[in-house]
Structure 1
């Protein structure tokens, strides 16, 4: 199987954002290696890692993931996210990572994610991550920015 260096870099950045091997107890390098982790549920400490590294509030993260904040608090006590919640958190991490690659700067990427965007109907990219279609729209917009089409 051929794997692009961009895919490996993306996976590694998502691993870092979710707390690294110390939290995940794994080092997925390609998308297929995430599947078993998602199926068993990510450690809830990955939420805290994402909050710490992005400086997005728990309330905003819960909204972006479409997971009630009370559920996130409960999952932190329980220690593990559900497979669906894990998939949403990885989707968030992969988009943050993609923005960092496009902007070549973590601060610029996080600012872009939290700022209203005309090409996304005037809403923030973060507000669209609660759905797959919204996340795809954010990725499409990042692709246009990367290729110099700032629509």
Structure 2
């Protein structure tokens, strides 16, 4: 298990197996992820704009989700997917600051779009992940 993902899951109060075991991921989504996970993710990962875009809301909406109440399935899945991707990007760039710079830069491999603009759809988040993986493996920057 990747120690970085283990660390982020522990910091966020998630089961460390959640991103490595599809059954755990699905069970967590079905159960509903606590809004406190979102609160901790905002604190740990920053990226309020990304979380707001992914969850199709604004700052006030994000704040309303940051409670002990579990999020619905759709929001739980989007939240977990976004956390996984942001951690992936952070590990790729080996720095939260460099990851944030990349997320807010126009990336040719994304058609010249900023990665932050891609989090509002599943396919956009998947594309960001694919590009981050290619960068990590030296395919392009």
Same fold (TM > 0.5): yes
Cα deviation, residue 50, structure 1? 1.4
In 2, the alpha carbon distance for the partners of 1:132 and 1:14 equals 21
The CA distance in 1 between the partners of 2:28 and 2:17, in whole Å, is: 9
Separation in 1, partners of 2:70, 2:116: 23
State the superposition RMSD in angstroms: 2.3
- What is the rounded CA distance, in whole Å, between the counterparts of 2:130 and 2:8 in structure 1? 19
1:92 aligns with 2:82: yes
Q: Give TM-score, length-normalised by structure 2.
A: 0.81
Moved over 6 A (4+): none
Number of equivalences: 138
Q: Mark the runs of 5 or more structure 1 residues left unpaired by the alignment.
A: none
Task: Decide whether aligned partners of structure 1 residues 68 and 141 sit closer, same or farther in structure 2, where only a CA change above 3 A counts.
Answer: same
Write out per-residue CA displacement over residues 10-57 of structure 1, whole angstroms, 9 at most, x where no aligned residue.
6425514xx433xx4x33352322221111111101111111122223
Q: Distance in 2 between matches of 1:31 and 1:141?
A: 23
Among 27, 30, 35, the residue aligned to 2:16: 27
Q: Could you list the runs of 5+ residues in structure 2 that have no partner in the other structure?
A: none
Matches within 5 A, 1:2-151: 5=1, 8-9=2-3, 11-16=5-10, 19-21=11-13, 24=14, 26-29=15-18, 30-32=20-22, 33-57=24-48, 59-63=49-53, 65-69=54-58, 70-77=60-67, 79-150=69-140
The answer to whether the Cα contact below 8 Å between 1:115 and 1:124 also exists between their aligned partners in 2 is yes
Distance 2:33 2:74 in 1: 10
With normalisation by structure 1, the TM-score equals: 0.76
